[in-house]
Structure 1
Amino acid sequence: MKKYLFTILVFLLVFSGTQAQEVAQLTLNEALLYAIENNVTTKNARLETLISKATVKETTALGLPQINGSFNLDYNPQIPVVFLPNQPPFGDPSNPSDVIPARFGVSYSSGIGITMTQMIFDGSFFVGLRAAKTLTELTNMDLSKAENDVIENVKKAYFTVLVNQERIRLAQANLARIDTLLKETKALNEAGFAEKIDVSRIQVQRNNTYTQTQRSQTAWEISKEILKLQMGMPLEVDIVITETLEELNPKENLAQLLVDEGQSRIELDQLNTQIELNQLDLKYNTSQYMPTIDFVGNTLRRGAGNELSTVYNSQNWFGSSLLGVSMNIPIFDGLSKSARIQKNRVTINQLENQRFFLKDSFKNELFTAKANLRNDLNILQVQQENLKLAQEVFDIARIKYQEGVGSNLEVVDADAALIEAEINFLAALYDGLISKVNLEKALGLLKADLTN
């Protein structure tokens, strides 16, 4: 828990003078550390580890002495009657009945005592203790798995915000470019060098570009809200990302991922631990055939009186004590333990089959992730070149139009092609980033860059 305490220093919260809204400036690493600490999934996983530790203590306590105290104060409104035979030499000749009623007891009685039991031998205890410790290991693995899932989701959400920021930048540049072209074309139209249809054509393009800009702005706002939700950050806080895509994705890092063999997956460790738990459950059920031996001891003092005021007189109190060993030997339980053992063995076989499949699926996931990243990087390179070419085509078409050797339609078509190239480039960029995260997951490297 202590290693997460420093994350409270991750964010420098400043206040806007006009809106008084909290703004958190963060990097990817800071976002991940904050999410690990504050996401509800990791919070609950950490609480589950505390539960498992308490379970170990609870199981360990079964092997320690069990001491209980007792106290009672009883009042008999009517003392029970015991019937004795009315026969010589103790009979009462004056009593015509063949029985004599006698009251054995007093109106008030009290007692105080201590009982102690200590387990001497119970084969299932040690198996249960080992199972409780193994459960703690499993909950720690569950915590690591939860952290991996949070990191994966936060990275994808973080990259989505960055891509949407880039989409806004390009959309605003497109809008500025088309506004300039629209202004020039209106001037040419007023001077008689361009037709009204040329202005209308560019106005339509400008309206479409403006709509795209608004959509990009909305997508950016939504992606920030999703990122805050994944991080567990209050939605009232605004976030500002201080990194660029180029800083987060150096080419040498991507090349290294493509040749990395990866690490052991936490999912496989979880399954191995589940198999171990089922094997311990099998041992536990098998140990139920063994006898259990306990030491038992108690000490007791009791007193009585016909009046409440005399119950606690010292002359009316007497002590007793007991020391002994008890053994419980299971003989026949209707074959219930045998049925549980059979279920354990079948479950272990199922988990081993699942482990075999999981290993193969991880190999396939790694192969697919590397293939997708290679493909996405190639597509991204093509789209970058295509974007560069589309920009060149637009620049040439605009120069020709300004010099009177090109048509307005060529400029509008070139602008539309440039916008399409930008959209394709951003889509390829996003796909590449998601493929990078998927490959990091397949390699078991999601937490590799986190500062511990």
Structure 2
Amino acid sequence: MGSTSLWAQQFSLKEAVDYAVSHHTQIKNAQIDVLNADAKINEIKAIGLPQVNGNFSLTNNVLMQRMFIPAKIFNPSAADGELIAAKFGVENSGFSSVGLNQLIFDGSYLLGLKASAVYKELSQKSLTQSKQQVAENVTKAYYGILVNDKRMGLLDANISRLDSMLKDTRALNKAGFAEKIDVQRLEVQSNNLKTEHENLLRLQELGYSLLKFQMSLPLEEKISLKDNLESVNLQILSNDSAPFDYANRIEYSMLKTQENLAELDVKNIKAGYLPRVVFSGNYGMNTGANAFGDLFRKQWFDNAALSLAIQIPIFDGFSKKYKSIQSENNLRKVRQSFDLLKSSIDLQRNQSSISLKNALESLREQKSNLELADEISRVSRVKYKQGVGSSLEVLNAEASIKESQVNYFTALYNALIAKVELEKANGTLYNE
């Protein structure tokens, strides 16, 4: 396992994923979208609740408007056609009122409530999709560290074995039983392995940084891993002949929700042809005076009104007709997307299953090659110690081991990634 410290936090793969799901910014933003969807539902509900508004105003008619009336009304002897520009009203007036409006029926409002609930469902599924993406990234980063840990362990064994041989060869050289060039060859190989070890340490440090980034853990935090490669099950994860439920894939589930939204949009436009019924009530008081100060000493006269309005759409220039055509076309596009998504999922499942099978087969072969290289190296070292083999033969065997190890760990990492891809394709990578 990776380097540890007394104050390092330890994480199993599940704990690392759970931590990321709780702290990742992408998921926090998706959770905010769910909260916004809740607020949107309440916003639409509020439209159907009584709407109460108050109004209070004071008006000073600085220049009062004149009304033109025939002069004969007030003076019978006035000439025909003579007009009087009379002032009607008072210089100051006050008005206050409270009005209530209550929606009785609106087809679009009822469908809007349903659509807002479906929109919330879509935001929740988007949150689940974000969690799955984060879980995938964390899992791949976690496996990368485990593979490098294993690789580093074998590299340490290579260095230890070669250093032991170098020590023995130096002793043989001093005693005259080995040439100087044998020592130099081993020294070069030893230095190369130690350089590779330093490079691998830096690569592992980068791997930990990547894991912490995917977990949304501060990069300065020290962590270590609880799990090891032996605990990872790399067997085939699914039976290709078993029935598959497409709803296991969040993409399919989200498309179903989008279909529901598109259906509601079609219904909403058609609901625009239905009458809209609104009840309203109003109560107010007003007064007037020539002097502004008298407004609050004069009597205020009240008034009230109740009304029931029925708004019947008759002709809108075919606006709703063409909106309906667009919404039905959008619904058809969503429904046609199901076949494409199913084919895409089938292809992903098939590809990931084959990739895992191939990766496991390659892993078995590379493991066999590594064991064979180890045996060749062991025999060459024995022959060298017995004086019937050369140091060049030993170095060639060590080079074969190194190559076999690189191939083995590449195959191992590919198998782990193929496992993740198959779980993702089957919709089982992350379940809440």
TM-score under structure 2 length normalisation: 0.94
Identify the match of residue 134 of structure 2 among 142, 145, 150.
150
Identify the match of residue 201 of structure 1 among 179, 185, 194.
185
State the AA in 1 paired with 2:114. R
Following superposition, which runs of at least 4 residues in structure 1 exceed 4 angstroms of deviation?
A: 92-97, 258-263
1:203 and 1:91 map into 2 onto residues whose CA distance is 131
Give the corresponding residue for 1:26: 11
Q: Does 1:346 align with 2:332?
A: no
Unmatched tracts of structure 1, length 5 or more: 1-13, 17-21
Between stretches 188-197 and 224-233, larger displacement belongs to 188-197
1:322 and 1:215 map into 2 onto residues whose CA distance is 86
1:266 and 1:216 map into 2 onto residues whose CA distance is 38
SS in 1 for 2:206: helix
SS in 2 for 1:381: helix
Quote how far apart the aligned CAs of 1:92 are: 7.4
SS in 1 for 2:428: coil
What number of residue pairs does the alignment pair up?
Answer: 426
Q: Contact 1:85–1:91 at 8 Å: present in 2 too? A: no
Q: What per-residue deviation string (whole Å, max 9, x for no partner) do you get for residues 64-90 of structure 1?
A: 111111111112222222222112x41
Taking only aligned residues, the RMSD between alpha carbons, in angstroms, comes to 2.0
Between stretches 229-238 and 328-337, larger displacement belongs to 328-337
Give the corresponding residue for 2:400: 417
Q: Does 1:333 align with 2:322?
A: no
SS in 1 for 2:296: coil
Alignment of 1:173-192 (within 5 A): 173-192=157-176
State the AA in 2 paired with 1:364. L
State the AA in 2 paired with 1:72. S
SS in 1 for 2:75: coil
Q: What per-residue deviation string (whole Å, max 9, x for no partner) do you get for residues 6-59 of structure 1?
A: xxxxxxxx986xxxxx62211111101111111111111111011111111111
1:106 and 1:172 map into 2 onto residues whose CA distance is 102
1:197 and 1:353 map into 2 onto residues whose CA distance is 73
Q: Does 1:289 align with 2:276?
A: no
1:240 and 1:51 map into 2 onto residues whose CA distance is 37
Quote how far apart the aligned CAs of 1:107 are: 2.3
Q: What per-residue deviation string (whole Å, max 9, x for no partner) do you get for residues 324-370 of structure 1?
A: 11122222222221221111121122112211111111112112111
Q: Does 1:300 align with 2:306?
A: no
Residues 1:258 and 1:377: Cα distance change in structure 2 (over 3 Å): farther
Between stretches 101-110 and 131-140, larger displacement belongs to 101-110
Alignment of 1:46-195 (within 5 A): 46-87=31-72, 89-91=73-75, 98-195=82-179
Residues 1:152 and 1:347: Cα distance change in structure 2 (over 3 Å): same
SS in 1 for 2:114: helix
Give the corresponding residue for 2:365: 382
Quote how far apart the aligned CAs of 1:218 are: 1.3
Quote how far apart the aligned CAs of 1:191 are: 2.1
SS in 1 for 2:93: strand
Identify the match of residue 232 of structure 1 among 189, 197, 216.
216
2:163 and 2:149 map into 1 onto residues whose CA distance is 21
Give the corresponding residue for 1:245: 229
Give the corresponding residue for 1:430: 413
Unmatched tracts of structure 2, length 5 or more: none
Quote how far apart the aligned CAs of 1:95 are: 9.5
Q: What per-residue deviation string (whole Å, max 9, x for no partner) do you get for residues 220-278 of structure 1?
A: 1111111111111111111100111111x136xx3454567555211101001101101
SS in 2 for 1:405: coil
SS in 2 for 1:311: helix
Give the corresponding residue for 1:6: none
Q: Contact 2:151–2:409 at 8 Å: present in 1 too? A: yes
Quote how far apart the aligned CAs of 1:294 are: 0.7
Q: Does 1:41 align with 2:3?
A: no
1:112 and 1:185 map into 2 onto residues whose CA distance is 108
Q: Contact 2:71–2:78 at 8 Å: present in 1 too? A: no
2:94 and 2:169 map into 1 onto residues whose CA distance is 109
1:262 and 1:441 map into 2 onto residues whose CA distance is 13
2:30 and 2:256 map into 1 onto residues whose CA distance is 19
SS in 1 for 2:274: coil
1:436 and 1:196 map into 2 onto residues whose CA distance is 50
Percent identity, aligned pairs only? 37
2:279 and 2:217 map into 1 onto residues whose CA distance is 56
State the AA in 2 paired with 1:426. F
Q: What per-residue deviation string (whole Å, max 9, x for no partner) do you get for residues 186-222 of structure 1?
A: 2222222222222222222122212211221111111
State the AA in 1 paired with 2:367. Q
2:76 and 2:300 map into 1 onto residues whose CA distance is 33
Q: What per-residue deviation string (whole Å, max 9, x for no partner) do you get for residues 142-173 of structure 1?
A: 11111111111110111111111122222222
1:228 and 1:262 map into 2 onto residues whose CA distance is 34
1:258 and 1:24 map into 2 onto residues whose CA distance is 38
Q: Does 1:211 align with 2:195?
A: yes
1:443 and 1:96 map into 2 onto residues whose CA distance is 97
Identify the match of residue 393 of structure 1 among 376, 383, 386.
376
Between stretches 64-73 and 262-271, larger displacement belongs to 262-271
Quote how far apart the aligned CAs of 1:105 are: 2.0
1:195 and 1:269 map into 2 onto residues whose CA distance is 72
2:131 and 2:112 map into 1 onto residues whose CA distance is 29
2:168 and 2:5 map into 1 onto residues whose CA distance is 42
Between stretches 364-373 and 258-267, larger displacement belongs to 258-267
Between stretches 387-396 and 104-113, larger displacement belongs to 104-113
State the AA in 2 paired with 1:428. A
1:377 and 1:100 map into 2 onto residues whose CA distance is 106
State the AA in 2 paired with 1:405. V
Quote how far apart the aligned CAs of 1:291 are: 1.8
